[in-house]
A and B are shown apart, each in its own frame.
Chain A
Amino acid sequence: MSDQTILGAPQPSGFPESGPLLEVRDVATRFRTGRGMVQAVNGVSFVLQRGQTLGVVGESGSGKSVLSRSIMGLLSSNAERTGQIIFEGADISDLSPAGYRELWGKEMAMVFQDPMTALNPVMKIGNQITESLRFHLGMDKNEAKETAIALLRAVKIPEPEQRFKAYPHEMSGGMRQRVVIAIALACGPKLLLADEPTTALDVTVQAQILDLLADQQRERFMGVILVTHDLGVVAGRADHIAVMYAGRIVETAPTAVLFREMQMPYTEALLSAIPKLNQASHTRLSAIGGRPPDLINPPAGCAFSPRCPYAQERCHVEQPPLQESPTTPGHYFACFYPVNSPETKAAKERIAVEQLMATAPIDPRPEGA
């Protein structure tokens, strides 16, 4: 796919510069609502290096989208954010709206979940791309048009010259998501936040879009934060993974390490709840009981403890800190009794026995049913 290098856009200057691209320090985001304060993100910290991909995984309500919006400075007016966001060594946590305008598109850009609503329906797609080229890079009309067509070609939209004049409703969902990506890439950002970029798309189109993002990332040496609920999407594509639950990172590690030796029972449960292609049909799924916690009145102790089959007394009272694994540097998890601890192993055995007892054949149909 390196058939087309993007014209006009400055080559990302971020090559051999030292220091991480993005540092997020103890970020917390709360929303004032009629029912009370919603603790959507609660003390999240991580570091993203240039050219790397961080996969942020969690269920709805885990705070993963609010986290990416907090980094982008795209929060609604009822939000309160604390903590620090350091981008290329500069603190951008308290930037003014005008300051963010300088950053958006040029330094960091975002790809949203729903390509149907991310585009302006009454504006030709070409103009939606040239808008930021002219604003940030000061291009004249023709130069911006040529660059936009090159961008459309780079995201593999057929007949880009004709498509330049099309409206969003004339394109399919996959094509629109390509346009959204072209807009995000237009000014050569160093950081790309992709918030569920393929959730609204079919599986074959999803594969095309993820391939496209990976190619563009490699070519431009961008840092990418890929937010998704699907562990399958990040498994092959992220360098690091952060698993979120109830607004906190509960486990984070390099991708291979996370899948090889996951420690947090929530991560394990999330993975085993997914139906697998290599399981025989009618395999009983190991569902996680209950549902995600109420973020207005979060449970005491570990937020996962009410659903965790291995929870002990202490889990319901005390919040486990996110700590580095003693055996694997770079692997952090927030759990008192990780998957391989003696307590959890004992609990697992006990549950296995109980299940065996309970797997009696399902009761015959009740009388009169």
Chain B
Amino acid sequence: MAGSGTAHLRDPNQMLLRVENLVVEFPVGRKGTVSAVSNISFDVAEGETLGLVGESGCGKSTTGKAVMQLPRPTRGSVVLDGQELTALSGEALRTARPRFQMIFQDPISSLNPRRTVADIVAEPLNVWKVGTAEERRARVDEVLGTVGIDPEAAASRKPFEFSGGQCQRISIARAVITDPKLIICDEPVSALDVSVQAQILNLLEDMKARYGLTLVFVAHDLAVVKNVSDRVAVMYLGKMCEIGPPDDLYSRPAHPYTAALLAAIPLPDPSIDPGATAHLGGELPSPLNPPSGCRFRTRCPRAQDICAQSEPQMQKVGEDHYVACHFPLETPVAAPGVH
């Protein structure tokens, strides 16, 4: 994974979001730095959902937050709708914020416990003084209705009176009320039970169609990501390994890490013996001192000398399917008609 390169980027004029050579570093100790995201590039077309997957510590959430400029990335470019976000000053960035919003993992702690649901959802409108008080109230009711919360019963209640799934619906309402172009979803369903998770995933698809949203969906669950995404990017230790359309990427993973992740998922099918599959050993190396060359080489069953010496660059292995690996798995040929 270790890969860098921009071969997988598409025509910038047709992309809503284009992230190039993104680097996010955090200070460690007196003068050290840890690089949470090391030179990542991707783009998202309007109306598309990009899934970002990887294990904890791979930098997927940091990438999502860097797009939000929370905090601003150390280096690199983030262009939303033709506007370079990293170059915007404080006030200009604030003015741009209604166009890109975020939904967080823990739905309960991301809502202010002392305010009512109506206040929470109306706040973005109040900040921007959109319309009259009447109009704002009508808009809050309408958006709450679309996320499946009864505005009459819920508006004057506080977050603790709602379940996790309902709080996540309220967070979604708050995110869509400013009429954004882009929503970054950071593990939006990983704190929820499977039955509620399915409700929220379906709701996100509905919201996307209704409000014409573009999503960046950050999650560790590969099955969830496949369900919602038009394109999936796999990350490892701050680098991007592989990016491609989900059906192709899951059926023919080209990166050994993607294949290992897929093999580790427990399937709800008792006829498969999980003990018979060889599972990836070892753990994520420390990002303070990442391996040279390809960062996955220390755990990779296919690693050779070259993997320690040079970092693989993104290369095309199929229709819209790119991998950063010196020895990709059975190079899939772009099979026409197979999706």
* Residues of chain A having any CB pair with chain B under 8 Å: 59-60, 172-175, 202-208, 210-211, 214, 229-233, 235-237, 255-256, 258-259, 269-271, 273-277, 279-289, 291-292, 362-363, 365-366, 369
Contact = CB atoms under 8 A, between A and B. Distances in A.
B226 A288 contact: no
Interface string B218-253: 001111101111100000000000000111001000
A236 B227 contact: no
Contact of B266 (A230, A287, A292): A230
A206 B266 contact: yes
B226 A277 contact: yes
Contact of B267 (A210, A256, A277, A363): A277
Contacts, number: 155
A369 B264 contact: no
6 contacts: A207-B280, A271-B268, A276-B268, A277-B222, A287-B195, A287-B201
B202 A259 contact: no
B160 interface: no
Interface string B276-306: 0101110110000000000000000000000
Given A208-B279, A236-B272, A277 B266 contact: no
B260 A287 contact: no
B260 A229 contact: no
| Most chain B CB within a 10 A radius of its CB, from A230, A365, A369 | A369
A363 B194 CA distance: 27
Main secondary structure of the interface of B (DSSP, over half): helix
B198 A287 contact: yes
A235 B198 contact: no
Interface residues of B, number: 58
A291 B165 contact: yes
B142 interface: yes
Interface stretch (B7-15, B71-79, B87-95, B203-211): B203-211
Nearest to B51: A281
B197 A273 contact: yes
A283 B246 CA distance: 12
A255 B266 CA distance: 15
A229 B194 CA distance: 8
A366 B212 CA distance: 12
Nearest to B200: A287
Contacts of A60: 193
A310 to B, nearest CB: 16
B198 A273 contact: yes
A304 to B, nearest CB: 11
